[in-house]
Amino acid sequence: MVRGQGLGNSPYSALGIGELYPLGNATNLGMGGIGISNSSPFYLNLQNPALLGSRPPYTVFEVGLLGQSRVVSQNTGNATQVQRTFGGNLGYLALAFPASSRWSISLNLRPYTGTNYSLTRTSAFQGATQANALYSYTGKGGLNKASVGTGYRVYKNIFVGAEASFMFGNITNSSEAWVDVSRIAQSATAAKVNQLNRTSYSDIVWKLGAAWRPKLNDTWTLNIGATYDPSTRLKGSETEIYQQTTLAGQDLASPDTIRNNASGRATLPQQLSFGVSLERINRLLVGVDVSFQQWSQYRTVNDRPGNLSDGMSVATGVEFTPKPTSNKYTDLITYRAGFQYNRLPYVVQGNQLNDINVSAGLSLPVGAYYVNHITLSLIGGQRGVLTGTQIREQYVRMALGFSLTDRWFRKPVID
């Protein structure tokens, strides 16, 4: 049976370092999450740091909120257990500003992974056909990234960039096991075995990016981009404790500390992403992104295999503004749609999970000159299938973004 509570509950977040948050901002999420090759003067796109060099000399500040409604289902015996959850979280804070006419810098803070699950399992206790062994698994925590990015226009339509991120956070996994002794004998003593594992992480990770944006003619531009996240040995420390208690939680023995802040390094695998898009300036954009990450190379903080497989993502999206030069408000609303296929690194019962979703969104211009925007994106999808004892997750994710654009950091001019 699956049980859940709190924000972002997912049984699959028990695997690896948790469930990966989407990389895109609210605007990207509305068009399949694409962002490796495409950028905009009105919104931030931090998926490829090189594209910061293509920005006009304006400062942009963005705030994003994420919410998710999820239905988790699993077949248990002759019935299907269903559990519904809803949660919300701050998705990102981001700021980008010009350092020169061809160089921009960004600062942003966002979650990277989240762990939140609660599972129970019952099985017949060996040697006692009238008793059941009960198991409970819970986990909470996640990793966050505070990043500084920079993008530079090298020559005409060629851009390069880099991002340095401080990754930090902790993940706590706990499990409990006990026997339903009431079915053996009334005089039997009930005891529970508890195991607690807490791992904390803190280290610097890098991302490199490049982009080429040649003009095909006066109207159309071709955008090509690529990013590379090198494999990183992420510093961490692990504490692991075993203890025996009564069902009420009273100690039956002193805690047995297997590890106490033991230092180690987890291996985060490299990731390669490529994107291509065709753009009619400020009016129409169609693009495709492809990403590969070698999660089979992931290792835990104590250098053990994570039992993950290589992941892949393919996304396509479209963005359309009816008439960007019009004075009519409805002509300035931007519409988006997209599709995404993810081959997740999670393997359950020998089957690698897929995540398939569709998205739609729009941006409403607000404020003076309509250079500020409120963006709403909706994503609906499913991962896992309701086969055997696998767990199926169906979700609707909502992203709300606020983008403020202005000319900051200007030197005053006196006539």
Condensed to tens digits (0 to 9), the pLDDT of residues 1-30 reads 444 344 567 888 888 898 899 889 999 999
Give the confidence band of 95 by pLDDT, cuts at 50, 70, 90: very high
pLDDT at 125: 65
Lowest-confidence segment of 189-198, 235-244, 248-257, 327-336 by average pLDDT: 248-257
pLDDT in tens, 161-172: 999 999 999 999
Q: For residues 39-66, give the mean pLDDT.
A: 92
Contacts 24+ apart (CB under 8 A), 65-68: 65/89, 65/90, 65/91, 65/399, 65/400, 65/401, 66/21, 66/22, 66/90, 66/91, 66/397, 66/398, 66/399, 67/397, 67/398, 67/399, 67/400, 68/8, 68/395, 68/396, 68/397, 68/398
Q: What is the C-alpha separation between 230 and 269, in angstroms, rounded?
A: 7
Looking at residue 3, its pLDDT comes to 40
Amino acid 4: pLDDT: 38
pLDDT of residue 1: 41
Task: For residue 411, name the pLDDT band (cuts at 50, 70, 90).
Answer: low
The predicted structure's pLDDT at residue 127: 59
Predicted model pTM: 0.89
pLDDT for 189: 57
pLDDT of residue 128: 52
Which distant-in-sequence residues (6+ apart) come within 8 Å of 177 by Cβ? 133, 134, 135, 136, 192, 193
According to CATH, what is the number of the domain 2-406?
2.40.160.60
* Average of per-residue pLDDT across 62-67: 94
Q: How many CB atoms lie within 10 A of CB 91?
A: 23
Reply yes or no on whether the pLDDT at 185 is more than 80.
no
**Domains of the chain: which residue ranges?**
2-406
Q: Which residues contact 136 (CB under 8 A, 6 or more apart)?
A: 118, 119, 120, 121, 175, 176, 177
- Does residue 318 carry a pLDDT above 70? yes
Q: What percent of the chain has pLDDT over 90?
A: 60
**If you average pLDDT over every residue of the chain, what do you get?**
88
pLDDT surpasses 60 at 413: no
Quick one: which H or E segment has residue 265? Answer: strand 256-268
**Confidence band of 285 (pLDDT split at 50, 70, 90):** very high
Q: In this predicted model, what pLDDT tens digit does every residue of 230-282 receive, in sequence order?
A: 999 999 999 999 888 877 667 777 788 888 888 999 999 999 999 999 999 88
Residue 306 has pLDDT above 50, yes or no: yes
pLDDT given at position 319: 97
